[in-house]
Amino acid sequence: MKAKFTLKRISVVLLVIFCLIQVFRINKAIIPVNEQTDFMAVTQTNPEVSSVLKNACYDCHSNQPTYPWYTNVAPLSWWIKHHINEGSEHLNFSIWQTYTIKRKDHKLEECVEMIEEGEMPMNTYTWMHPEAKLTDAQKQLLIDWFKAEKAKLNYVAEK
């Protein structure tokens, strides 16, 4: 009997805490696209590459994330916002043109490595966004695009 009472109390306390944390919302501000600095605009990606980048990369690696309904529920929203902040801090396609040539070269190399090793897009992202799961053809498309952009950078740097 006492165990039932304790379990009920714990459940009520957890429910109250869950309700209270809903007050602490994440910032969902979207920064407008600046065509002068955005990766897809600057590199003039073709529609196929653009589509794959938008579906698989831009939510975490740009200033243009989309926030599904479940980002209204704390603490899940906090975890997702942390991933977005971390991803865009590491690589932000929205500010691509502000990077130095050396940094761009390094980021393109990392993009290729992450895709080849299956680390990106992250499994935790593709579980909730099945459209972001890359096929082998899409992986190769991005790898080829990133390598071509890297070659262009190296050509420019040599001049």
Give just the sign of the alpha carbon dihedral 41, 44, 47, 53.
negative
- Per-residue confidence (pLDDT) for residue 33, from 0 to 100: 87
pLDDT at 29 over 60: yes
Q: Average per-residue pLDDT in the chain?
A: 91
* For range 131-158, the mean pLDDT: 90
Split at pLDDT 50, 70, 90, the class of 41 is very high
pLDDT at 65 over 90: yes
Please, what is the Cα angle at 134 between 89 and 122, to 5 degrees? 40
> DSSP letter string over 57-90?
TTTTSSS-----GGGGSTTHHHHHHHHHHHHHHH
Q: What would the pLDDT profile of 79-112 be if each residue is shown by its tens digit?
A: 999 999 999 999 999 999 999 999 999 999 999 9
Q: Where are the domains of the chain?
A: 28-158
- Per-residue confidence (pLDDT) for residue 2, from 0 to 100: 67
pTM: 0.85
Phi first, then psi, for residue 82 (nearest 5°) are -60, -45
pLDDT at 36 over 70: yes
* For range 34-61, the mean pLDDT: 94
